[in-house]
Amino acid sequence: MTTVSDTTVETNLDTALAAVGSEIARTDGKSSLLLAFTGAVLAGLASVADKHLPPATQVFGAAGVLALAAASVLLLLVVRPRLRGGGRESFPAWAVMSEADIREVLHGDLRAARIRVLSRIAVRKFRRLQRAVDLILAALALLLLAVIGALF
């Protein structure tokens, strides 16, 4: 059985904490890009809303718009700040603590607890991002069907 040195554990904790923070930043960046995309598509679709279109095009188009709207909601939830929960190892808790309480809490090593909290946040963000991408792909398929219906 091999033992891990304290230095290795310290390095691993620092690396893991930085990695989780990076993953959260990635989800926020991807979500912002996808929000801009869905917003542009919805704005473009609004320009044809008053046009007389075949019934099939209207049905597929409306379903596509609803899917894009649902994706937008999920993306907004990804970038929405989370200010509750997390325990004493998270900054929302520190905002309501006295300076003495903060010093007491920070006296110990909180990295493992922070990694746990931030990992849960990252997983939740990635799941919502994944669902939003699935909805965007479904919306694009529905909008393609709407276009095909308008051509025939």
Domain ranges of the chain: 6-48+57-151
* Residue pLDDT, tens place only, 104-150: 988 888 899 889 989 999 999 999 999 999 999 999 999 999 999 98
* Residue pLDDT, tens place only, 94-107: 888 999 999 998 88
15-19, 41-45, 49-53, range with the lowest pLDDT? 49-53
Structure tokens at 5: 């040195």
| Eight-class DSSP state of 58 | H
Q: How much is the pTM?
A: 0.85
**Longest CA–CA separation in the chain, Å:** 74
* Residues in contact with 86: Cβ distance below 8 Å, sequence separation at least 6, in sequence order: 92, 93, 117
